Amino acid sequence: MPCHRILRDSIEEGDFTLVVAVDSLSDELRRTIEYLNRHPKTATTICAAEVGYFAGEDHEVVAPRMVGPQQTEKGPGGTGAKWDETSYFAAAAGRCSAQAMDIMRRLYEFTKRESDNCKWGRGKDGSFTFRLERAGITGSIFSCFTSGDISLNFGYMDGKVAQDAVDRFADAVGQLEGFTDVRTRLQTKRWVHYKVDEVFAVPGNLETFERAAVAVRDSLGG
């Protein structure tokens, strides 16, 4: 795969590490970075590099100090590698109810079957994403995390999927019990999270959601 495409996909999915370099790390910045890494919305990891400088008569020393998530929290096995089916469901089993696990498995099978690319994340929370890769367009519709959250990725559809198709998706989802506040939440954020065992526990919700996702995919053509 060309390097520019890897870079583009990483930026679109938030699958990268952002390093903030400073001369001196304040307590406020440290707490902010720790908070953002505890509450991830994408696979992005945020770190700070405090670059200390010491000079003596005969030498100069640059001593960087990194602040961010512990490596053991990042990716399966603490390696930062991509998650896969085995590591994802093993991690989810320790955090989610049996009902949530069943729903996540169904969403995964749907994503494998209907998406252009079922993409695995690299974040400390495992994720798979329903990717759109057709007609020269790349984006995504939703991601499902080992925490039992589903993210509706309107931010990854904006400017790529026709607005009327995005609106139809929001309207279809917003009619489902558990999702009725989606339009209100979209006024302030373009990535909206829900718990799968709350929004898909209602009979028929998952099937209606899947049909709405397929309609977005098909709006891009073959």
Kindly give, in sequence order, each residue whose CB lies less than 8 Å from that of residue 94, ignoring residues fewer than 6 positions away: none
pLDDT in tens, 108-120: 999 999 999 999 9
Cα distance between the two ends of the chain: 21
The number of helix segments (H) and strand segments (E) in the chain equals 9, 8
pLDDT at 72 over 50: no
Who has greater pLDDT, 183 or 43? 183
Angle CA 136–139–142, to nearest 5: 150
Distance in angstroms (rounded) separating the CA atoms of residues 104 and 206: 11
Report which listed range, 35-44, 116-125, 209-218, is most confident: 209-218
Q: What is the pLDDT of residue 19?
A: 74
* E strand map for 1-114: 17-22, 45-55, 60-67
Cβ–Cβ < 8 Å for 119, 156: no
CA distances from 102 to 47, 150, 169, 189, 206 (A): 35, 14, 24, 28, 12
Q: What is the pLDDT of residue 135?
A: 87
At residue 163, what is the residue type? Q
Q: What is the pLDDT of residue 71?
A: 42
pLDDT at 177 over 90: yes
Who has greater pLDDT, 141 or 44? 141
pLDDT in tens, 123-142: 888 999 999 999 888 999 99
Question: Per-residue confidence at 70, pLDDT binned at 50, 70, 90?
Answer: very low
Distance in angstroms (rounded) separating the CA atoms of residues 214 and 199: 18
Question: What is the number of alpha carbons within 13 Å of residue 214 lying toward its C-beta?
Answer: 12
Q: What is the pTM of this model?
A: 0.69
Residue 30 class from Cβ within 10 Å (0-12 exposed, 13-18 middle, 19+ buried)?
middle
